[in-house]
Structure 1
Amino acid sequence: MADIAHVVGSDLQLSSSGDVATVDQSDWTEQRVLRRLLTSLGAYIWQPAYGAGLSGLIGSTVSTQQIAALIRSQLALEAAILQQPEPVIAISRGASGEAFATISYADATTGGAAIITIPGAG
């Protein structure tokens, strides 16, 4: 069954026929991961412990190890991510100190490998 396509921070999209756009399984997993990582802790009133709040770390002095640990803990809670093999999280710093997160994981819905890059992750 198709799900509605929605990238966190964006509006719903329309398909070429004018209906609400739907998403396939691999894109659905990516959207779930991004939503979990970018949602501020406490922003979902029905699940106050949901979210990593990565966008709230921008401008802070959080270390790359702390960012990686936060991402790892949230991915462990995400049913759409296989835990074996364990997701690989690489955090790098840009020239002006901004952090970039690259996450490699196995999609639980398709079994395939996927990579997400999040600029400005802290």
Structure 2
Amino acid sequence: MADLSLEWHDDFQVDATGDLLVIDGDDEVRQRLERRLCTAVQGYVWHPTYGAGLPQKVGSTLSAADIKAVVVSQIALEASVAPNPPAQISVSESAGGKVSIGIKYWDALTGRSVSFSITT
């Protein structure tokens, strides 16, 4: 089912006819996962358990293993992500302190593997 497209740190976009752009499939799931991982802990008044708050952790002493554990637990909450095989998560830190998170999961409906990354 299509939803409104909304990239993290962006605004709504319009299509060629001037209507709000909609999205579905793998791109919709990617947007949902990015939103879940980047939404502040207790950032939604009506849904206080939603969100991993990864941006809140910038500058903290979290290890790559800690970040990976947070990502794994949050991805497991998304119905669009198949529980088996489990998602593959990689976390790496560059010399400048940037953290990259690689995510590969399997779509619950199609069984296809989908990969994307988040860099902070």
Same structural fold, with TM-score higher than 0.5 when normalized by the shorter chain: yes
User: What amino acid is aligned across from residue 73 of structure 1 in structure 2?
Assistant: S
Query: How far did 1:82 drift?
Result: 0.8
The alignment covers a number of residue pairs equal to 120
Cα deviation code 1:58-117 (max 9, x no counterpart): 111110000000000101111111110100000011012321100100122432111120
CA RMSD of aligned residues (A): 1.1
The match for 1:7 is 7
Cα deviation code 1:17-48 (max 9, x no counterpart): 11000112111111110010000110111110
User: What amino acid is aligned across from residue 31 of structure 1 in structure 2?
Assistant: Q
Distance in 2, Cα, partners of 1:113 & 1:100 = 19
Contact 1:25 1:109 in 2 (8 A): no
Higher relative contact order (CA 8 A, sep 6+): 1
**Superposition TM-score, scaled by structure 1 size:** 0.93
The match for 1:106 is 106
1:63-102, aligned counterparts within 5 Å?
63-102=63-102
Structure 1 runs (4+) greater than 4 angstroms displaced = none
Distance in 1, Cα, partners of 2:33 & 2:61 = 24
User: What amino acid is aligned across from residue 41 of structure 1 in structure 2?
Assistant: V
**Superposition TM-score, scaled by structure 2 size:** 0.94
The match for 1:18 is 18
Distance in 2, Cα, partners of 1:11 & 1:37 = 18
- List alignment gaps of at least 5 residues for structure 1: none
User: What amino acid is aligned across from residue 51 of structure 2 in structure 1?
Assistant: G
- List alignment gaps of at least 5 residues for structure 2: none
Further displaced range: 30-39 or 96-105 = 96-105
Q: Secondary structure at the match of 1:65?
A: helix
Q: Secondary structure at the match of 2:102?
A: strand
Q: Secondary structure at the match of 2:36?
A: helix
Give the % identical residues: 39
Contact 1:26 1:109 in 2 (8 A): no
